[in-house]
Structure 1
């Protein structure tokens, strides 16, 4: 439900209008201050990173999604995340990555700056909803996995690791087109390969073993996440639903078995002692990880060993994104222009993750980027 608000003095009422949106789940209101080209707003979803509505765009005639970033300047971490997401959304372009259509703020000065809006193509469902409502045949399963891999291949080629792949961060439409979104935790690849995820807050269920155990990490953390999502699409339940970090590792260990000495020897002393103290576990056969009974009976059922290869505990043994894309299960969809699309321009400064900036400095950086975008785009007339 939308309600137009009375004119307010802190935005241009000739170009913007205010609409109050009710979150029916939380019972909370959110005020959107948006260009007049957008109307008929309806609540779509809300989360820690923002509130998303559907809207009509009178300029393009399309229905779009508008995300209001949730209080991006309250804490340094949220401001840093908002800056990261804004830069990447405005620069990364691929058919399987959500497309930014517009971005704006109604605020005209840094002093009054408090709101950032992102307008994106509207997708019908997120993958979490699809997984828990539908049983998917192999054609659809393999197509979803292929598109996920195309997205992360492009991110990695463009120098970015997503780090937070999960079903709720993947959206699909009625034509089974899949797109990855939410880049608030993404990081530069050449930085990530030599560092640990000390501030890593990705959803626990999809965390790779090297993250849980405090090892340096590479882009293969994204492959682990895709493997977990693939198994979840088949089983309709989370593969490793850990209650905390230790329980998460225990769930992985009980299914995938005791890791090799090569992997354990890379761990810190206390982590290595802990892993060696556990009873020896044999890996479960693939038929237990993704049982035949969880596939649709009328669909052809090849033994999907792609799952096992994406879920190797040791990242050195885990499939690369290229290995996964060349697996027969997904290779049938292979299109060179999707798999090997040219890298996107990436203006994201790799040093920004380590910069000791104040909240006001982060706010200034975001304002500068929004202003840059608005100077290059006609946000009111397309």
Structure 2
């Protein structure tokens, strides 16, 4: 699920898969893999910060990989609080509002991705960062004063001066007909999927579900494999590397050294195939590469980017800025 130094060819991005007729089993399994991937990142102190369908690729056997770590940062770096992250449609409220944020900004993005998988379209499609916030509160409702009190004063005044929204009930926002159809024999239910969405799409990060809790949610836990979900985190030899200035030639040398190190570890028995087996389970490789809609889990059930946030505006917070 995590990106290898040498990537194998995948069949499609999640952008394409979203518009296919997925059943609960496939949707749940894809989400499970995304959550496993970001759990490994978070356990190593890394926040991806740009999760979106175009950064996730899928094979016809339903295995999945997370791509594009260009905005990923270790949680200890000074870059952690920058608003210059996350494609707007998948940007967490705390990022939009210039608050301090932590790993579960990635969970908000996963919730937006899941919502898009259900509805077949972007759920919060703002035209700029201010409109993005408006779209969020129109759907999820105006946040509590407990949340407001953690905002900077200028941002809090702006948010309090906006119209107050009660929010849309999740059963209305994601009605039964939007989900895959289910039978009495299905172990995964629409109600479970909607409940998971309601726990990920929470404005207040303090109340939002964690990646561990999401992996243990009934809609996801049926796939839980300790060998995948509890695997050792990726090792980061120098967590302050990205905070230091390097020339292009120095970056090239660092990347070359990383590739050589990977090759040496591969010779010692840690091969790409071994890692793939460890994180992807025993999914079949026999499905047609030209028909993602026939993806088989082969397991037993057990865009638009801008660089602004509201806190970057020092004057009156109007939409013309």
Q: TM-score, normalised on structure 1? A: 0.64
For 1:88-107, what aligned pairs fall within 5 Å after superposition?
Answer: 96-101=1-6
SS of the equivalent of 2:36 reads helix
Superposition pairs for residues 16-95 of structure 1, below 5 Å? none
Q: Is the 8 A contact 1:100 1:121 kept in 2?
A: no
1:205 to 86, 89, 93: 89
Q: Quick check: 1:365 aligned with 2:250? A: yes
2-structure distance, mates of 1:215, 1:147: 29
SS in 1 for 2:39: helix
Aligned structure 1 segments of 4 or more residues deviating by more than 6 angstroms: none
Q: Determine the structure 2 residue equivalent to 1:151.
A: 37
Alpha-carbon distance, 1:347 to partner: 2.8
Q: Does residue 316 of the first structure (1) align with residue 201 of the second (2)?
A: no
The equivalent residue for 1:62 is none
- Contact 2:126–2:132 (Cα < 8 Å) also in 1: yes
* Superposed CA offset, 1:43-93 (max 9, x none): xxxxxxxxxxxxxxxxxxxxxxxxxxxxxxxxxxxxxxxxxxxxxxxxxxx
Question: Does 2:78 match 1:178?
Answer: no
- The structure in which a higher percent of residues are helix is 2
Instruction: Confirm or deny that 1:258 pairs with 2:142.
Output: yes
Q: 2: CA distance between counterparts of 1:329 and 1:375?
A: 41
Count of paired positions: 258
Bigger Cα Rg = 1
CA displacement, residues 185-239 of structure 1 (integer Å, 9 cap, x when unaligned): 00002337x95224x2321000000000000110010000000000000100001
Distance in 1 of aligned mates of 2:165 and 2:226: 41
Q: CA-to-partner distance for each residue in 1:269-317, whole Å, 9 max, x for gaps?
A: 1110111112221121111222212123355543121001001100000
Gaps of 5+ in 2: 265-270, 272-321
Partners of 1:375 and 1:122 in 2: CA distance:
21
Counterpart-to-counterpart distance in 2, 1:375 and 1:188: 23
Q: Contact 1:162–1:186 (CA<8 Å) still a contact in 2?
A: yes
Q: Structure 1 residues 152 and 373, CA, compared in 2 at 3 Å: closer, same or farther?
A: closer
Structure 1 residue runs without a partner (length 5+): 1-95, 102-119
Q: Distance in 2 between matches of 1:99 and 1:176?
A: 18
**1:302 is aligned to 2:190:** yes
What is the distance in 1 between the residues matched to 2:80 and 2:49?
Answer: 13
2:16 to 129, 132, 135: 129
- Kept after mapping to 1: 8 A contact 2:11/2:58: yes
- With the length of structure 2 as denominator, give the TM-score of the two structures: 0.76
The DSSP-based 3-state class of the residue aligned with 2:146 is helix
> Partner of 1:14 in structure 2?
none
